Structure 1
Amino acid sequence: MRWITRGLVAAGLVLAVGLPLSQGASAATELLQNGTFTTSTASWWSSGNTPISVDAGRLKAVVPGGTANKWDAMLGQKAPAIPLHQGRNYTLSFDASATASRQLRTTVQQNADPYPATLDKLFTVGTTVQHFSFPFTSSMETTIGELTFQLGGLAGGGYTVYFDNISLTDNTGGSAAGNPLEMTSGFYVDPNSNPAVWVRNNPNDSRKAQIESSISTKPMGRWFGNWSGDIGASVGGFVGAADAADKLPVLVAYNIPGRDACGGHSGGGAGSPAAYRSWIAAFASAIGNRPAVVIIEPDSLGDFNCMSQDAINERNGMLSYAINQFKDNAPNTWAYLDGGNAGWVAADVMAQRLVGAGVANARGFSVNVSNYYTTAASVSYGNAINGTLATDKPFVVDTSRNGNGPGNDWCNPPGRKLGAVSQVGGGAEMLLWVKVPGDSDGSCGIGAGIPAGTFSPDLAIRLITGT
């Protein structure tokens, strides 16, 4: 848990009294990734003579003896680069202990020669855990900041040091830590969505004006899967463009192995659980500290009746891993594990499946993704799921195609219509266009001959007119 520090200040050190962020603490934006070391040392580096690992949920560093300078044994974080703004107020805080008392050094500095520092502090660790907090005002403007802990330069022998709850916050600007809604000025309109690309490529088509005004200029999700190429570059480019525009992007992670196990039109996914873990870890790391909303693996909890118990257990492990990647490495992302739709799995059963897949560590869950149930029915379903969960979780509803309610089928049924555009509230935490309107569900219904995920202007026009 992240803590805002309050207490007695002496020589730049705050002896902290733990106060959760939810209890009226001042707003701040987290700049580091994986500061709690739940599963790995991802995002952290160390010098070759100072191996690091996770030990009981802490970062463990084995430091050699006999080094001449403090920087001869180091660890820190520099990728993705940490932005620093001259005149802004920041706070570096962490818990630390060691196998012997040692005086160490920490810096927040520019990651370029001659490595000027805007924070440079000595601190002494002992054999009991202490909480350290160093508020400072940045003296530099840079996009390539880094945090270091310099552990060498000691006359004594080697030792082991432990760190936990490492946090670097930007305390200026009024954005609540971890709240992407308050860090942006609205939802991101993807200029390279399938309908936007079609509009650009078909300037003389009679359907262009309607599709442009009703669909391509609206915020919607971008889906990522095994078609996305280098997932880190693909996600990073999309989120970076949204961040540059001060907008909130919606992303869909859709690459679970054995996807659409009941024989639907969207089969595929990563080749193995190990490949999926690598893929989703790169996905989360590419978002980094930037604000985002992520829908995790639509339909992944709906088709258990087509899976063995071993396959279910394996899938739950992958989903739990995915959730924790966003929790640890994308601190300003709200991640929602998909919870099916109102007509598929009973709410009490879906609640059990969400729990089994680790929803406790996600922001919440999503409903109605790529489906057509009305917002009222979807909100009722989400509330029914929460009625079974031990603790209520926020949920979001896909409203991209639910304006006329459900049809007789889930796969390109006729007579459907666009629903409410992306917005906060509406009975859920958010209403979102998760599915891209006009993208086919598969070669079925009124989309016969159109593969899943392919944009069709005819399907788009039908959604606009509702006929």
Structure 2
Amino acid sequence: MNRLGPILLAVLLLVGGCVDLPGEAGPPPASRLLAGTFRLARDPESPAAIWTRQNAGGKSPAFEPIQRDIAYTPVAHRFTAADVDLSQHVRDYLAQAAKQRWMPMLVAAFTEPGVCPAERSPAVGDLARGLGDGKAIVVLEPRLLGGQCADTAGVTRYLNASVRQLRAEAPNAFVFLDVSAGGTVDEQRAWLISSGVAQAAGVTFGVGDYTPAAQLAGPARKLHDALAAATGRSDYFLLADSSRNGAVVTGTCNPAGARIGPDSVLSDQPGALQQAWLTVPGVSDGPCGAAPASRAGEFVPDLARQLTG
């Protein structure tokens, strides 16, 4: 893995599709891995990139490792319902990536922890309009399934409606549902089926976590096989967040000894666990662990420096 030079990645590439009736969701876009040479997109708006620009020429001991190992590494951009003019923001973000032949990765985090979503979300509509016909990897509502909302049926109805809307209005988006919050394989299979996984591109794991890929791979493959048996599809992509999973640690909130993981591990084998950065290293989990004075979601340069080792 070379974080210093360009990393050519062959990623999800649309090679065909279905013609749908207006307003109706079709199946996920026909796609395959390793079908074209792309880079996963860097995020010039990431907290690490912004901090690096603001501190260029400064004397912070965190500057060099953050610039070298984090700021220019491909990473997903997190969109929330609070984004001003969300549709235009998404549209601009995709246009910027397209100019560079980059595949953009978006995390759509529209539901606050502990809040149960309504069945329809204006933010999902804004996201769909922003995506339009553009290609992008979209991780939908990480940690919502199996999370703090006790209304599981309401969550799955919301996700199902969201997947259908994105498939109908953003046909070239690769939509991923997420099971990072936990649950058994049987629970996750049932949740995902109710959430419309049959129309999604795949499933994400460990978003915002520190679990090494070796520990995720077995359960992920079992879930893949369970979904294949239930839906008749064996082409689900499995994608793990590798931004902070480079070491085995104790604890889940800014744990000491955590390290950044590989910026990309892609495979053309069905059921293989892919890896990419879906979280910006250095963003705090809250006032705990190695960043006791921080706030959740705050970029902490010293925490980022610690993650680089």
**Scaled by the length of structure 2, what TM-score is found?**
0.84
Matching residue within 359, 362, 379 for 2:217: 379
Amino acid at match of 2:200: A
In structure 2, the partner of 1:336 is: 176
Higher relative contact order (CA 8 A, sep 6+): 2
Q: Deviations over 1:147-190 (max 9, x none)?
A: xxxxxxxxxxxxxxxxxx9xxxxxxxxxx965697466211111
- Check whether the contact 2:119–2:161 (CA below 8 A) recurs between aligned residues: no
Q: CA RMSD in A?
A: 2.7
Q: Deviations over 1:221-278 (max 9, x none)?
A: 100113311110111111111011111010000012xx322xxxxxx687x544x2x2
Matching residue within 185, 188, 192 for 1:354: 192
CA distance in 1, matches of 2:130, 2:221: 33
Amino acid at match of 2:302: D
Is 1:315 aligned to residue 147 of structure 2? no
Q: Deviations over 1:260-301 (max 9, x none)?
A: 22xxxxxx687x544x2x210220221111111011111111
- Check whether the contact 1:288–1:329 (CA below 8 A) recurs between aligned residues: yes
In structure 1, the partner of 2:91 is: 236
In structure 1, the partner of 2:21 is: 36
Deviation, 1:436, is 0.8
Matching residue within 232, 237, 252 for 1:394: 237
Matching residue within 268, 282, 290 for 2:126: 282
Amino acid at match of 1:459: L
Matching residue within 430, 442, 456 for 2:286: 442
In structure 2, the partner of 1:298 is: 142
CA distance in 2, matches of 1:252, 1:195: 17
In structure 2, the partner of 1:200 is: 53
Going from structure 1 to structure 2, the CA distance change for 1:423 and 1:239 (only over 3 Å counts) comes to farther
* Bigger mean CA deviation after superposition, 416-425 or 216-225: 416-425
Going from structure 1 to structure 2, the CA distance change for 1:182 and 1:282 (only over 3 Å counts) comes to farther
CA distance in 1, matches of 2:96, 2:108: 18
Going from structure 1 to structure 2, the CA distance change for 1:269 and 1:358 (only over 3 Å counts) comes to same
CA distance in 2, matches of 1:332, 1:464: 35
Q: For 1:60-71, what aligned pairs fall within 5 Å after superposition?
A: none
Deviation, 1:450, is 1.6
Structure 1 runs not aligned, ≥5 long: 1-26, 41-56, 58-164, 166-175, 262-267
Matching residue within 250, 253, 258 for 1:408: 250
- Check whether the contact 1:293–1:335 (CA below 8 A) recurs between aligned residues: yes
CA distance in 2, matches of 1:280, 1:335: 12
Flag the structure with higher helix content: 2
Q: Deviations over 1:309-338 (max 9, x none)?
A: xx3222211101111122122222211100
Q: For 1:179-190, what aligned pairs fall within 5 Å after superposition?
A: 182=35, 185-190=38-43
Going from structure 1 to structure 2, the CA distance change for 1:224 and 1:269 (only over 3 Å counts) comes to farther
SS of equivalent to 1:185:
strand
Deviation, 1:458, is 0.8
In structure 2, the partner of 1:221 is: 76
CA distance in 1, matches of 2:71, 2:98: 19
Going from structure 1 to structure 2, the CA distance change for 1:213 and 1:294 (only over 3 Å counts) comes to same
Structure 2 runs not aligned, ≥5 long: 1-13
CA distance in 1, matches of 2:272, 2:69: 23
Amino acid at match of 1:36: L
Q: Percent identity?
A: 28
Deviation, 1:440, is 0.8
Amino acid at match of 1:336: F
Amino acid at match of 1:194: P
Flag the structure with higher strand content: 1
Deviation, 1:412, is 1.1
- Check whether the contact 2:254–2:285 (CA below 8 A) recurs between aligned residues: yes
Amino acid at match of 1:198: W
Deviation, 1:206, is 2.6
Amino acid at match of 1:282: D
CA distance in 1, matches of 2:245, 2:140: 20
CA distance in 2, matches of 1:455, 1:377: 27
Going from structure 1 to structure 2, the CA distance change for 1:243 and 1:348 (only over 3 Å counts) comes to same
Amino acid at match of 1:362: A
Q: Deviations over 1:418-449 (max 9, x none)?
A: 11112422973531100111111122222223
Q: For 1:104-183, what aligned pairs fall within 5 Å after superposition?
A: 182=35
- Check whether the contact 1:180–1:333 (CA below 8 A) recurs between aligned residues: no
CA distance in 2, matches of 1:202, 1:455: 14
Amino acid at match of 2:189: A
SS of equivalent to 1:395:
strand
SS of equivalent to 1:295:
strand
Amino acid at match of 1:388: A
SS of equivalent to 1:227:
coil
- Check whether the contact 2:81–2:123 (CA below 8 A) recurs between aligned residues: no
CA distance in 1, matches of 2:69, 2:20: 42
CA distance in 2, matches of 1:225, 1:422: 24
CA distance in 1, matches of 2:217, 2:203: 12
Amino acid at match of 1:324: R
